[in-house]
């Protein structure tokens, strides 16, 4: 079954299931893709809480739920900081949520009063306070996310949709889960360059990294953005670019302001970006490598459920799971045949593990780690197909499920949909 070129460019080279997909489209409305974050203590960030919670606890951090719609996580945090008139460093998140979606997640703000939450409300986001805590939000506090999805514009009879969904689900159950690829959002669906920027940084090619981020155009983005990037690519005139780069390209403009004054200080330009965004460049390249490792494992017919000798493993719920490396300066390759696969791919990439220590920007260095090859799809519920009210000649379904932190709903959905064009399909 042919995998779209866009997915191959981010390292996803295979499908795990052989059954036909249903097609369809995600995110016709942002509200068609709902995400609610779950903490390890069981707290769920509700998009629409039944009752406003009574503030409890004590400590220097006030934990909130941030509800946002159709806005990037980093931009949402910056909006909150601006509304409160505080430095963005006082706000911490556990994880990054989809931009084109309706999401709810926990955030912590240091030295804030509950009544200040009323200041934070726009058309795209709002917050409500939960409790005081001595701990700020951190990824270690996350369990996972609940997803409630609408897949629209399905062009098959209801009986065919149901049969295809059942076949894919049966395949995934037999496999023991879904391949734990890093999803499209990790790299940028419209402009999949995040991992390319990361690779340039690791190789110390800061100018190339900056130009890739700022000026590498994509035929899939808005014409005004594409034209602005192309013009900068041709001229490399950063001062002039400030006049024509669209205001919504917030991060690009932050870098351009620096380069307009200091034309060759590309490292300094990256320091103008949120540190978490800079870390994401490196993490995206790790993710690309992981995706390729996992794709090749599947293509070589190696098991995903049971670890072989000399392979990495993670214990979850008292069971050992196959794990693959997230390459870093302390994280080497697997043993056995899987290790040979990884060694070959790393030689192709010409990026040895020690490059993940970045002296020019130590905070974005990565020691690496491991990640499970499979992710469990928890409490999967597949609704019966119904008429799509946005196109009465087509059908829609509303799957819901839970994934552990770090796993991507779009990776599960691609197995059921098998889109020919992930961008048009809303990935």
Phi, psi of 410 (to 5 degrees): -65, -30
Q: How far apart are CA 368 and CA 332, in angstroms?
A: 8
- What separation, in Å, do the N-terminal and C-terminal C-alpha atoms of the chain show? 19
Q: How far apart are CA 313 and CA 297, in angstroms?
A: 15
Active site residue 200: no
Q: How far apart are CA 248 and CA 222, in angstroms?
A: 11
Cβ distance 371 to 326 under 8 Å? yes
Q: How far apart are CA 307 and CA 284, in angstroms?
A: 25
Cβ distance 425 to 414 under 8 Å? no
Q: How far apart are CA 213 and CA 118, in angstroms?
A: 36
Instruction: Decide the pairing of beta strands 142-149 and 102-110.
Output: unpaired
Q: How far apart are CA 414 and CA 181, in angstroms?
A: 11
For the chain, what is the radius of gyration of the CA atoms?
A: 22
Write down the catalytic residue from 72, 98, 200, 388.
98
Q: Which ranges in 38-185 belong to alpha helices (H)?
A: 73-84, 158-175
DSSP state of 186: G
| Residues noted as catalytic | 98
């Amino acid at each position: 079954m042919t995998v779209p070129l866009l997915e191959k460019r981010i390292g996803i080279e295979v499908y795990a299931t052989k059954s036909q997909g249903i097609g369809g489209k995600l995110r016709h409305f942002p509200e068609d893709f709902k995400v609610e974050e779950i903490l390890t203590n069981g707290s769920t960030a509700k998009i629409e809480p039944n009752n406003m919670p009574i503030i409890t606890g004590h400590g220097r951090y006030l934990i909130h739920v941030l509800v946002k719609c159709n806005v990037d996580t980093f931009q949402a945090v910056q909006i909150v900081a601006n509304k409160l008139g505080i430095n963005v460093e006082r706000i911490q998140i556990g994880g990054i949520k989809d931009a084109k979606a309706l999401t709810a997640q926990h955030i912590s703000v240091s030295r804030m009063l509950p009544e200040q939450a009323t200041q934070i409300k726009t058309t795209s986001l709002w917050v409500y306070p939960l409790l005081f805590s001595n701990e700020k939000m951190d990824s270690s506090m996350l369990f996972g996310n609940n997803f409630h999805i609408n897949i629209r514009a399905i062009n098959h009879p209801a009986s065919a949709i149901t049969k295809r969904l059942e076949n894919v689900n049966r395949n995934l159950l037999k496999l023991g889960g879904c391949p734990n690829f890093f999803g499209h959002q990790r790299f940028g669906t419209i402009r999949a360059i995040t991992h390319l920027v990361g690779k340039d940084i690791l190789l110390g090619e800061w100018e190339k990294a900056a130009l890739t981020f700022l000026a590498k155009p994509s035929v899939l983005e808005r014409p005004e953005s594409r034209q602005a990037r192309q013009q900068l690519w041709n001229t490399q005139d950063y001062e002039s670019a400030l006049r024509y780069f669209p205001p919504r390209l917030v991060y690009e403009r932050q870098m351009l302001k620096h380069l307009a004054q200091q034309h060759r200080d590309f490292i300094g330009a990256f320091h103008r970006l949120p540190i978490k965004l800079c870390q994401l460049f490196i993490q995206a390249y790790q993710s690309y490598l992981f995706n390729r490792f996992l794709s090749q494992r599947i293509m070589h017919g190696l098991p995903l459920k049971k670890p072989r000798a000399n392979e990495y493993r993670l214990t979850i719920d008292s069971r050992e799971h196959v794990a693959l490396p997230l390459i870093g300066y302390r994280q080497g390759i697997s043993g056995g045949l899987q290790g040979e696969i990884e060694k070959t791919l790393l030689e192709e990439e010409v990026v040895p593990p020690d490059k993940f220590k970045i002296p020019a920007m130590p905070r974005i260095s990565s020691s690496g780690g491991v990640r499970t090859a499979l992710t469990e799809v928890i409490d999967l519920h597949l609704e019966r197909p119904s008429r799509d009210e946005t196109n009465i000649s087509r059908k829609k379904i509303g799957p819901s499920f839970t994934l552990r932190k770090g796993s991507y709903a779009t990776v599960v959905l691609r197995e059921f949909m098998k889109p020919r064009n992930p961008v048009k399909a809303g990935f």
